[in-house]
């Protein structure tokens, strides 16, 4: 870690900022889908940046993320149903973008996760093609006409076809920036190309997310080391620790402080003034 060029660390940090910046559009487009055009981008960015790092850092994303979003959005007139729809739509964006990126990268590099799933490259490529065909079918289905489901008390409106494509592009961009943030920290002597790292990185991210462990702790790291590690794992562990600090720990601390500050400011603002005798 001490031997890593500080300029590469700064570049990685900039890519992390770009990745988290793209995440803010998840909430913005979800707000537009539910018809809340009046909520400004800064509120969507606040909800996104506080909910993702805190929820992933603590674990139990499905429970914590809606609570944080509700605290942010309730000040702008959004109810529990609206927040539930936003959480569903942002989750849909996450999975569509990640699965599309996994399908594309796995089609190009089918043997990259062979040490993780123990499947031959041909079968991995078949899985990738199946994923991409399923996503294409969903896009065509939603493009034909507006789609929604649920009940009259709990309606869920799906985004339009063009909006889904835009969400997929944002998801791929977000993952690409995050993977590149880790790639620049890996020593060139390990001879790990970007497409192989991207494939393993996406698979590790999805496994870590599905595990519900705080920041995918243990699951993400084991998948990275298994998929990319060779005989000499120390340089890769160093890169992984630096990436963890920049991508998970630092945003978690900043988001926690930001959310606490916003809550404190709002509570003071809502507190009635004590009359002076």
Q: What are phi and psi of 148, to 5 degrees?
A: -155, 160
Residue 178 has pLDDT above 70, yes or no: yes
Return the number of other C-beta atoms located less than 10 Å from residue 224's C-beta. Answer: 25
Average pLDDT, the chain: 86
What's the rounded Cα separation, in Å, for the pair 250 and 193? 27
Write the pLDDT tens digit of every residue in 186-225.
Answer: 988 788 888 888 888 988 888 888 887 888 888 888 888 8
Evaluate if residue 147 carries a pLDDT over 90.
Answer: no
Q: When comparing pLDDT for 270 and 131, which is higher?
A: 131
User: Does pLDDT of 95 surpass 70?
Assistant: yes
pLDDT (tens digit, 9 = 90+) per residue, 53-80? 998 888 778 788 899 999 999 888 888 8
Q: How many other C-beta atoms can be found within 10 angstroms of the C-beta atom of residue 58?
A: 15
DSSP 8-state class, residue 190? G
Percent pLDDT > 70 in the chain is 94
Which pair of structure tokens corresponds to residue 3? 């031997």
The whole-model pTM stands at 0.86
Q: Tell me which residue has tokens 């991995």.
A: 124
Nearest to 51 by CA among 259, 230, 273: 259
| HEC sequence for 159-189 | CCHHHHHHHHHHHHHHHHHHHHHHHCCCCHH
Question: Which of 126, 119, 108, 131 is CA-nearest to residue 196?
Answer: 108
| pLDDT value, residue 273 | 44
Q: How far is CA 150 from CA 91, 147, 163, 224, in A?
A: 17, 11, 20, 39
The per-residue pLDDT for range 218-272, each reduced to its tens digit, is: 888 888 888 887 667 888 899 999 999 999 999 999 999 999 999 898 888 765 4
Q: Where are the domains of the chain?
A: 6-177
């Amino acid at each position: 870690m001490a031997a890593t060029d500080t300029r590469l660390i700064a570049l990685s940090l900039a890519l992390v900022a770009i990745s988290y910046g793209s995440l803010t559009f998840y909430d913005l487009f979800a707000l537009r889908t539910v018809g809340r055009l009046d909520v400004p981008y800064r509120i969507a960015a606040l909800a996104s940046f506080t909910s993702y790092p805190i929820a992933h850092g603590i674990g139990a994303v499905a429970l914590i993320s809606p609570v944080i979003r509700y605290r942010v959005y309730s000040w702008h007139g959004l109810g529990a149903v609206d927040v539930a729809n936003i959480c569903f739509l942002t989750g849909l964006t996450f999975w569509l973008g990640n699965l599309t990126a996994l399908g594309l990268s796995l089609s190009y590099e089918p043997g990259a996760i062979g040490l993780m799933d123990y499947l031959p490259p041909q079968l991995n490529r078949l899985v990738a093609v199946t994923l991409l065909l399923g996503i294409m079918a969903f896009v065509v289905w939603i493009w034909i006409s507006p789609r929604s489901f649920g009940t009259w008390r709990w309606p869920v409106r799906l985004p339009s076809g063009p909006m889904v494509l835009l969400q997929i592009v944002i998801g791929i961009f977000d993952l690409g920036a995050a993977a590149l943030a880790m790639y620049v920290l890996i020593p060139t002597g390990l001879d790990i190309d970007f497409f192989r790292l991207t494939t393993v990185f996406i698979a590790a991210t999805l496994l870590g997310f599905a595990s519900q462990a705080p920041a995918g702790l243990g699951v993400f790291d084991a998948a990275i080391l298994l998929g990319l590690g060779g005989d000499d794992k120390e340089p890769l562990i160093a890169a992984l620790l630096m990436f963890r600090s920049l991508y998970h720990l630092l945003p978690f601390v900043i988001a926690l402080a930001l959310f606490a500050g916003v809550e404190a400011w709002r509570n003071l603002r809502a507190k009635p003034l004590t009359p002076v005798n």
